[in-house]
Amino acid sequence: MHKRHFLISTLLLITSCLSSISAVAAEHNNLKRLIPSALKAGDTIALVAPAGALDEQIELDIAVESFEAMGFKVKVGKHVLSRDGYFAGTDQQRAADINQAFADPVVKGIFAIRGGWGCNRILPYIDFDQVKAHPKIVFGYSDITSLLNAFYTKAGLVGFHGPVGVSYWGKDQAQQLNDMLIQKQKVVIKNPDDKDADALTQRKHRIQTLRGGSASGKLIGGNLTVLSSMAGSDYLADWSGHILFLEDVGESLYRIDRYLSTLQMAGKLQQLNGIAFGQCTKCKSEKGYGGFTLRQILEHYFLPLNIPVFMGGQFGHVKDNNILPVGINVKIDADKGQLILLESAVD
């Protein structure tokens, strides 16, 4: 009798979870997708710190000067230099800066000054009705994955996975921002061609095709660790028919295995049309007998899906971090290691 009651309780729990997941998917599918307006020279952007605290004032100065050098005016969030443990202020304070930036008619884009950890904690305090009423460019990567996916799921807002304020902003990153967010170009996101002058073949920025072919769908994704931490929540969209991109940093490979297992068990990977894996920076391989390579782990989870997959894309925790628009229709070409925008990422 006890075993029967256990089985019934387990079945009810599974049914409840599936109903919740279905409700989230239905809510997202009924949302109108919101493509933010393009930026232009002289626009005001807001710098916010939704996660980790800044270590020094000079980090803020460099970020402000980088955006000013690209022709923007900069408003700094009220709590950017606040501190609460390892966060840039309390959860409520960090969320308040984001809500204020969406409500401010002068602000045309919202850029995270850094990642770290903490965006999941502020999601309950975000005013998603404000996001829907005033859709704007939201930009960042790493822990900002949480915000980009939550805005897409809860408000239908297209966001941008790319360098944060304290990241290296060079000519290539500035040009990408200009092409995608100002000029509205349907860009091709690919690795640089930088064969050494005396090399017989390209050695850096190599693409590895795990399964060739091409497919289309809306782009979704971000940092693997953050995405797995959101699995099962109502802040993670239905991935049916999407193209997934992933990156990570500072993780042992067994943890990469664990995070992918989480997404697999949550039924997320099985929904996809294609996968682009970027950089796994400082991801330590296992020592001794029985360790897997990163490619072997990815092949284990991705090859059975029978969809186009490549690894080695130039995005993630790297100096030259490509910009990827979350929620925009793209084509993945796994043989070339490219993501081709099929529509402009901004209006």
Question: What residues act catalytically?
Answer: 142, 247, 317
DSSP 8-state code for residue 197 = T
Contact 146, 226 (CB under 8 A): yes
From CA 205, how far away is CA 169, in angstroms rounded?
19
Sequential DSSP letters for 305-340: G-S-EEE--S-SSSSS---EEET-EEEEETTTTEEE
From CA 67, how far away is CA 64, in angstroms rounded?
5
Which of 130, 186, 131, 192 has the alpha carbon at shortest distance from 159?
131
Q: Which sign, positive or negative, has the C-alpha torsion 102, 245, 260, 255?
A: negative
Q: 3-state SS of the chain: helix, strand, coil percent to 5? A: 35, 20, 40
Q: Are strands 188-189 and 137-140 parallel, antiparallel or unpaired?
A: unpaired
Phi, psi values for residue 76, rounded to 5°? -100, 130
Locate 31 and state its tokens. 């949302």
From CA 250, how far away is CA 246, in angstroms rounded?
14
From CA 339, how far away is CA 47, in angstroms rounded?
28
From CA 244, how far away is CA 236, in angstroms rounded?
13
Locate 316 and state its tokens. 């993630």
- The SS3 call for residue 202 is coil
Q: CA end-to-end span of the chain, whole Å?
A: 62
